[in-house]
Structure 1
Amino acid sequence: MASPPPMGRRVTECRLQVAVTADQTIVFIILGGTLGLFIWNRWRFDVVALVALLSSVVLGVVPADEAFAGFSDPAVVTVAAVLVLSAAIRSSGFLDMALKPLLPRLTHPDVQVFVLAGMVALLSGFMNNVGALAVFLPVALRVAQRTGRSPAALLMPLSFASLLGGLITLIGTPPNLLISGVRRDMLGEGFGIFDFAPVGIGVTLAGLVIITFGWRLIPTDRRGRGAPEDTFRIEDYTTEVRVPPTSPFVGRTVADLEEEGEGDLTVSTIIRDRMREYVPHGHWIILSDDILLLEGDPSVVKRVADAAELALVGGEEIAADPSGGGYGVMEAVVTDSSPIIGSSPAQLQLRRRHGVNLLAIGRRDRTEISRLNRSKISAGDKLVLQGRLEGMPETLSTLGLLPLAERNLRLGQPRHLWLPAAVTGAAVIVATTGLLPVSVTFLAAVVALVVSGTLPLKEAYGAVEWPVLILLAALIPVSEALQTTGGTELLAGALAEGMRALPPVGALALILGATMLVTPVLNNAATVLVMAPIGVGLAGQLGLNPDPFLMAVAVGASCDFLTPIGHQSNTLVMSPAGYRFGDYWRLGLPVSLTVLAVAVPLIAWTWPLS
């Protein structure tokens, strides 16, 4: 008979067991409080995540020297880089050009939903799904306006399609990146960029079928507030452009040029014959060296000027400065006390004296504007000015101008139509071959666009969703604490005890369903960080392969179709479509059940359970 261990040893073991139990309790309380604060929705989610991190450090479940380890996690770097690349593609005009031949053919409601949702899903596989939705949001609103349909019938399907398409690749959605990081930390190697494709493609196709015919379940009597960019929309501006001899519109009609603006642009004046001014009809032929006065929003003017290769009169080509001190464009309003009231831009010599170019003037009575350089500036005029950004605030103050709400205006900036898409495509290829890690590859793509002048550094920083990154970085150590304290094994053991009577596929379905239920109330990234360790622990308890359980968590965390708060895509469309909280489940419930029914057998077939 073995002798009992010494008393000191038994006391040490008892104390260790108590300490571990206490740490588990602390972690569960912190995660429960975090979940409660997310549901309460009174504090910003990034603030809640930071509070959770600091509480974990103070209470000793996260070592102080590991508190900020999440900020160096490759998943955080990759998410930031993908957001920046998405913004670069969106502002390049590449998609506008690619979609132009297709838009007039979208007439039937089912075709509109299927084509637009399919494009969003496809694009979401290769760029951040929120960025893909943002690209097609104005397109959907334009289609709805042209066909007289409610935007509510289109925007929710597009949001759901962005979530589905993000399942296809590693970079399509942050949960996939996080799941790959969890697998790398726990099993020694992350997922490849297309490891998600067999399951993601099948789930996406099934979901698109439900969305195409199920959009009728959405209440279409909602009235939204318009697209996000319309929040800052002002009346149209008047912009001067010159027609160079190389323009493809030389010899074509005014109506052709206005058609390029899709009804949102007007050629109000043609200046030719030694500066004589004409009010043209649509059949007038555009000649080389004509000066045209275009009326329209600067974003529309930019798109048409790029397509027609028109040169801004008085504008200088922007050369982006990687140091951050480059040129840019700002909108400003002339105050009642401005010293420039009653003067023309020619008299003010804006470029020589103040280092800025006047690109456009916005005024309610545009008939008073003949030539920009000669028009007398009035109080209330809106001006689009181009100059060095670092000196712009001082210049606006000197001229008595107030800056308007900032928009992503690229009027007067050089066009880089293909480069952002080409660089992103090259990054995907390099990441696929495994030559470099995904995080390094996409960060290199961002640096290439900034250094080449394609993407101004200010826009690159502005494209990053910093609250999302802080959320990820802050919760990574907290979720690791759940594992290091044994909390994941405890939860996995409880789940495994309840699943012993279930077949392995049933256990897989349960973890997928549980993750889908948690996602609407817990941010999808936080859901991954909480549920992934549980999934791995559950697989270990049942003696099964952990990969299918990680895949189930990835799918479940990305598929919140029931509420507007579980994913940013759903939140993004809520205001433009005028949705209410209870509108989402009407279409979201059939889509969720479809995902559950299709994903489980696909995961089990692609990633064997044993």
Structure 2
Amino acid sequence: MIEAIPFDVAPSTLAFIILGLTLGAFMWGRLRYDLVALCALLASVALGLVPADEAFTGFGHPAVITVAAVLVLSRGFERAGIVNLIAEQVLKAGNRLIVQLTVLVGTVVVLSGVMNNVGALALLLPVALRLAREHDTSPSLLLMPLAFGSLLGGLTTLIGTPPNIIIASYRGNLTGENFGLFSFSPVGVAVALAGLGFIVLVGWRLTPRRAGKASSADMFDTASYLAELKVSEDARANGLTLQQLRQEIDEAIPVLAVVRDDKRRAGYAFYGTLQPGDILLLEAAPEELKLLEDKVGLSVVSEPGEAGEDSAEEEKSSASGKKATSRGVNIEGLQLVEAVVRNDSMMSHRSVRQLRLHHQFGLHLVAVARDGTRLRQRLRDIRFQAGDVLLLQGSEREMKESLATLGCLPLANRELTFGQPRKMALSLGVFALAIGVMLLDLAPAAVALSGAAVVTLLAGVLPLRDGYQALDGPVIVLLGAMLPVGKALDSSGGAELIADALLQIGSQWPAVVTLTGLFVVSMLLSNVVNNAAAALLMAPIGASLANGLDASLDPFLMVVAVSASCAFLTPIGHQSNTLVLGPGGYRFGDYWKLGLPLSLVVMAVAIPVILWRWPL
């Protein structure tokens, strides 16, 4: 029951104002969606829409616990080597594009049904890039279908995607009985198969064919921009550490290596002082080379970097008129790695200096690519965006942890590692046991999957530290904060008002038309806000529509579940779409060309199957 409102305004009106501002902030994108959700929750409490003592009950909601458990189990599958074993088979797809698409998209569809769909994409993304590189295929033909396949696969089971978990719990609140693990399978499998067939046979032709950028050598062409600068006896750089050198020039120019006595040491591991005769291998634009010469006296040299290297000597003029070599320098052993910035990354809208990448994370930023094109502005002036691809240098031992903390997905050409057979069997066995418990109704999904996650941690399949890192904090906060806000939309009468308006508009139409309208509205919403938020907001509206039509609740909730995961039109609707934005060289307007017809295919298949399985 809603308490007294401190303003002479209807509760439903206040709910609409809060939701309107929340949706606007989601679309604006300058504030992270978890922070926006918390602000919406606190505003709802302040206005009396959510009782203060119930403000944070959402964080203990079964849907939130289930999502957290699935994230931990997904990381356990990766750690045990199960997914890498599958990836090895995917790499045998051959050089025919249709076969590559069938294997890649089919694999991500299956994996997304049993693990977090973003996690499934993250594991197969490097595999797709390697396939593209080995068979001279444009990665833009593979990556968007792969991302869309991860969304389709999530529809097939309860645990495949957060909207399914949310809808199942919402049904439980209304009827006392949740949707089961495979309740989503009839429509989910039909939609996934139809979507897979469309993508493989027709859809890939609607993706842009961009120049191949499947590796750092292609996207960044690192070796072609390296210069060698020598430390002379009278140079001011003489006696300085690399850190002091950076402070002297007030720039974030990364020194990739220091060559002394024909021995090369990676820049991130060089802590001594520079001496006369040292050669610095670094990447710098002409104006930066002039800066290094003027401020610290470093001079460009033209000798080959390492004995025995063939160097195709190309020249580029510096501001001083001197020539800097841009040769095919050997960069092996310099610990360069590519990583893509995730939607929830702490790097978003921040610069290198604000993040203190080198001091706090031990990483050197070498280059940044956006929309498949390398940025030429000064590194210190770049404010990172979701989807940016970064070329970083750092210690291999610390790289993984630093990237995880920053919220970046590594795209390095890693060797496939296969876990111990015992851990593989244990991980699969624990998961199968949890599924059995859920199917036999011995325990709710949240309890069964949480138990499986705990056993995975106790058995050592996944270290506790990795278990905490697997938790997608922003998604957990978004769910925990928006659940009470979504409930307020229902309890304030706002959802009923929206449903009444839709019923008046379509009063002369068959119920299936209203169902289609609900699908379209929910689908469009999911393309501008997080899909979990879309499901939370649309579920009460779907329930009110069912009540207004005196129809069964289930088909309306199923429509919301499917449509909330149809974020195929924009790169911002789902993390999977954003993750392939940079590596695929896509632009914002590329997504709808494949996404719109795919959305229509999904809707054309989903609604008849829903009505067959759950009649009105």
Q: Which residue of 2 aligns with 1:65?
A: 53
Q: Which residue of 2 aligns with 1:303?
A: none
Question: Structure 2 CA distance, aligned partners of 1:76 and 1:477?
Answer: 12
Q: Which residue of 2 aligns with 1:522?
A: 529
> Are the equivalent residues in 1 in contact too, given 2:37–2:482 (CA < 8 A)?
yes
Q: Secondary structure at the match of 1:116?
A: helix
Is 2:189 the counterpart of 1:201? yes
Equivalent position to 1:574, from 581, 585, 599: 581
Superposed displacement of residue 103, structure 1: 2.8
> Are the equivalent residues in 2 in contact too, given 1:152–1:578 (CA < 8 A)?
yes
Is 2:506 the counterpart of 1:512? no
Equivalent position to 2:42, from 37, 46, 54: 54
> Are the equivalent residues in 1 in contact too, given 2:81–2:417 (CA < 8 A)?
no
Is 2:538 the counterpart of 1:531? yes
Q: Which residue of 2 aligns with 1:422?
A: 429
> Are the equivalent residues in 2 in contact too, given 1:516–1:557 (CA < 8 A)?
yes
Superposition map of 1:195-274 within 5 A: 195-213=183-201, 214-222=203-211, 224=213, 226=215
Superposed displacement of residue 423, structure 1: 2.1
Paired residue type of 1:180: A
Paired residue type of 1:432: L
Q: 1:473 to 1:29 in 2, by over 3 A?
A: same
> Are the equivalent residues in 2 in contact too, given 1:210–1:590 (CA < 8 A)?
no
Question: Structure 1 CA distance, aligned partners of 2:161 and 2:267?
Answer: 37
Q: 1:381 to 1:102 in 2, by over 3 A?
A: closer
Q: Which residue of 1 aligns with 2:96?
A: 108
Q: Which residue of 1 aligns with 2:153?
A: 165
Q: Which moved more, 1:427-436 or 1:592-601?
A: 427-436
Superposed displacement of residue 23, structure 1: 1.1
Is 2:171 the counterpart of 1:183? yes
Query: Tell me, which stretches of 5 or more residues in structure 2 are unaligned?
Result: 224-265, 274-304, 309-332, 336-358, 363-394, 405-413
Equivalent position to 2:270, from 314, 325, 335: 335
Q: 1:16 to 1:462 in 2, by over 3 A?
A: closer
> Are the equivalent residues in 1 in contact too, given 2:71–2:472 (CA < 8 A)?
yes
Question: Structure 1 CA distance, aligned partners of 2:214 and 2:306?
Answer: 26
Question: Structure 2 CA distance, aligned partners of 1:121 and 1:210?
Answer: 14
Superposition map of 1:210-609 within 5 A: 210-213=198-201, 214-222=203-211, 224=213, 226=215, 333-337=268-272, 404-407=398-401, 415=420, 416-609=423-616
Query: Tell me, which stretches of 5 or more residues in structure 1 are unaligned?
Result: 1-14, 235-330, 339-363, 368-379, 383-392
TM-score (structure 1 length as normaliser): 0.68
Question: Structure 2 CA distance, aligned partners of 1:560 and 1:539?
Answer: 24
> Are the equivalent residues in 1 in contact too, given 2:129–2:214 (CA < 8 A)?
no
Paired residue type of 2:462: L
TM-score (structure 2 length as normaliser): 0.67
Report sequence identity in percent: 49
Superposed displacement of residue 507, structure 1: 1.4
> Are the equivalent residues in 1 in contact too, given 2:130–2:214 (CA < 8 A)?
no
Question: Structure 1 CA distance, aligned partners of 2:142 and 2:416?
Answer: 29
Q: 1:222 to 1:453 in 2, by over 3 A?
A: same
> Are the equivalent residues in 1 in contact too, given 2:41–2:482 (CA < 8 A)?
yes
Question: Structure 1 CA distance, aligned partners of 2:134 and 2:90?
Answer: 14
Question: Structure 2 CA distance, aligned partners of 1:498 and 1:226?
Answer: 52
Question: Structure 1 CA distance, aligned partners of 2:7 and 2:98?
Answer: 60
Question: Structure 1 CA distance, aligned partners of 2:610 and 2:174?
Answer: 20
Q: Deviations over 1:427-476 (max 9, x none)?
A: 22222222111111111111111111111111011111100110111000
Bigger-Rg structure (1/2): 1
Q: Secondary structure at the match of 1:540?
A: helix
Q: Which residue of 2 aligns with 1:361?
A: none
Paired residue type of 1:149: T
> Are the equivalent residues in 2 in contact too, given 1:334–1:381 (CA < 8 A)?
no
Q: Secondary structure at the match of 2:527?
A: coil
Is 2:22 the counterpart of 1:34? yes
Question: Structure 2 CA distance, aligned partners of 1:573 and 1:196?
Answer: 27
> Are the equivalent residues in 1 in contact too, given 2:84–2:416 (CA < 8 A)?
no
Q: Deviations over 1:113-156 (max 9, x none)?
A: 11211111111111111111122112111111111101111111
Q: Deviations over 1:11-31 (max 9, x none)?
A: xxxx99998962111110000
Superposed displacement of residue 54, structure 1: 0.8
Question: Structure 2 CA distance, aligned partners of 1:571 and 1:454?
Answer: 30
Paired residue type of 1:595: V
> Are the equivalent residues in 2 in contact too, given 1:20–1:486 (CA < 8 A)?
no
> Are the equivalent residues in 2 in contact too, given 1:121–1:166 (CA < 8 A)?
yes
Paired residue type of 2:145: P
Q: 1:168 to 1:101 in 2, by over 3 A?
A: closer
Paired residue type of 1:207: G
Q: Which residue of 1 aligns with 2:320?
A: none
Question: Structure 1 CA distance, aligned partners of 2:117 and 2:431?
Answer: 15
Paired residue type of 1:217: L
Is 2:136 the counterpart of 1:142? no
Q: 1:403 to 1:102 in 2, by over 3 A?
A: closer
Paired residue type of 1:334: A
Superposed displacement of residue 41, structure 1: 0.7
Q: 1:606 to 1:108 in 2, by over 3 A?
A: same
Q: Secondary structure at the match of 1:150?
A: coil
Paired residue type of 1:434: D
Q: 1:17 to 1:443 in 2, by over 3 A?
A: closer
Q: 1:365 to 1:86 in 2, by over 3 A?
A: farther
Aligned length: 445
Q: 1:34 to 1:223 in 2, by over 3 A?
A: farther
Q: 1:366 to 1:526 in 2, by over 3 A?
A: farther
Deviating above 6 A after TM superposition, structure 1's stretches of 4 or more consecutive aligned residues are 15-20, 364-367, 408-414
Equivalent position to 1:129, from 117, 134, 140: 117
Q: Deviations over 1:470-514 (max 9, x none)?
A: 011100001100111111111111111112111111111111111
Q: Secondary structure at the match of 1:195?
A: coil
> Are the equivalent residues in 1 in contact too, given 2:50–2:485 (CA < 8 A)?
yes
Q: 1:336 to 1:190 in 2, by over 3 A?
A: same
Superposed displacement of residue 206, structure 1: 0.8
Question: Structure 2 CA distance, aligned partners of 1:504 and 1:477?
Answer: 29
Q: Secondary structure at the match of 2:478?
A: helix
Question: Structure 1 CA distance, aligned partners of 2:14 and 2:63?
Answer: 26
Q: Deviations over 1:203-244 (max 9, x none)?
A: 1111111110210111121555759xx99x99xxxxxxxxxx
Q: 1:61 to 1:144 in 2, by over 3 A?
A: same
Question: Structure 2 CA distance, aligned partners of 1:118 and 1:502?
Answer: 38
Q: Secondary structure at the match of 1:117?
A: helix
Question: Structure 1 CA distance, aligned partners of 2:99 and 2:6?
Answer: 62
Q: Which residue of 1 aligns with 2:408?
A: none
Q: Which moved more, 1:574-583 or 1:550-559?
A: 574-583
Question: Structure 1 CA distance, aligned partners of 2:560 and 2:416?
Answer: 44
Question: Structure 1 CA distance, aligned partners of 2:73 and 2:509?
Answer: 44
Question: Structure 2 CA distance, aligned partners of 1:176 and 1:224?
Answer: 35
Q: 1:180 to 1:21 in 2, by over 3 A?
A: farther
Question: Structure 2 CA distance, aligned partners of 1:499 and 1:101?
Answer: 51
